[in-house]
Amino acid sequence: MMRPPSNSAAIPAPLDYASGSIERWCADFVLATDVAAKLAPRSAPDPRRAEHWTVAPRALRLAAPSRPPTWRVTSRSPSAPRPESLRDPAARARLWHTFAHHELQAAELFAWAVLAFADAPREFRAGLVRLCEEELAHLALYRALLRRDGRDFGDEPVRDWFWQRVPTCATPASFVALQGIGLEGANLEHAARYAAAFRAAGDEEGARVLEQVERDEISHVAFAVRWFARFRGAPLDYDAWRDALPSPLTPAILRGRELNRAARRTAGLDDAFLARLESEPLERGVAGSEARV
């Protein structure tokens, strides 16, 4: 079993943020070890108000999130339940737990980026705060389904797969390439696939939650497409996107088994981009236990 290093003591003194600032909220959220503060933090300060931002903040690149001491953090992911097993509440609960943890990591990483890219445009960082809170709303939806099926968050081990990769992004453009166009883009496939699986298993409530997540993720991918183009100073280009991904990640692991073309087009990915992505050979593990849902 592997547990990330604890960052829970304090923010480094030279980088301490004022109480009530957005930066302080982001740091407190990522470093929280209390279950309630981690899974249902208070709302972030309004990013539209200038007084909620730290003046000339220094960048803070947290290496890992803190975790409540009762959570079991593992270096290996359990196998995902097969679609035909989803009539079993225990099998459903295992997936809800996995999906909820993916949403938690996504929320944390948007907060991480607010701190890591302190010199990025405030409009961009404000958008990251909004996306963070939307991921927390998805987490709440999955947690409600988890409780419905007799379990709660923390009952299963968690693997911080996204945290092992996204913080290697050196620039805001690399971050949106991986987190937004890559992971959130792949989620458009995974959410649609699992919505169909849960509906086939008779879980209409679960299917509708997954469809809601899919709709929200379209706007997340669109945000990434728009900002990737702004950071490059040129429209989104497949080769530029591929080159912005941190090694050793490749586009092959950032897609589902079948592209959700309609959702990806709505998010701003054109047919030329999708044709190139579809031509990538699927890697082992794609759409498996690390699926971004």
The number of beta carbons lying within 10 Å of the beta carbon of residue 157 is 16
Map tokens 């709303």 to a residue: 137
Average pLDDT, the chain: 91
The share of the chain scoring above pLDDT 90, in percent, equals 83
For residue range 246-290, list pLDDT tens digits in order. 999 999 999 998 999 999 999 999 999 999 999 998 765 443 334
Distances (CA, A) of 120 to 1, 46, 125: 37, 18, 7
Which pairs count as long-range contacts for 121-126, CB under 8 Å and 24+ apart, including other chains?
122/47, 122/53, 124/172, 124/227, 125/22, 125/47, 126/47, 126/48
> What CATH topology corresponds to 88-293?
Ferritin (1.20.1260)
Instruction: For residues 163-167, give the mean pLDDT.
Output: 96
Contact indicator for 141, 209 with CB cutoff of 8 Å: yes
Residue 39 has pLDDT above 70, yes or no: yes
Q: Where are the domains of the chain?
A: 88-293
pLDDT at 4: 39
pLDDT at 150: 94
**Residue 73 phi, psi (nearest 5):** -105, 125
User: What digits encode the pLDDT tens for the residues 176-220?
Assistant: 999 999 999 999 999 999 999 999 999 999 999 999 999 999 999
- Flag whether pLDDT at 159 surpasses 50: yes
- The phi and psi torsions of 267 (rounded to 5 degrees) equal -80, -10
With the C-alpha atoms ordered 121, 127, 133, 134, is the resulting torsion angle positive or negative?
negative
Nearest CA-CA partner of 216 in 146, 132, 273, 152? 132
The answer to whether 213 and 292 are in contact (CB under 8 A) is no
Output the six-digit token pair for 145: 């389904």
pTM: 0.92
Least confident of 94-98, 140-144, 289-293: 289-293
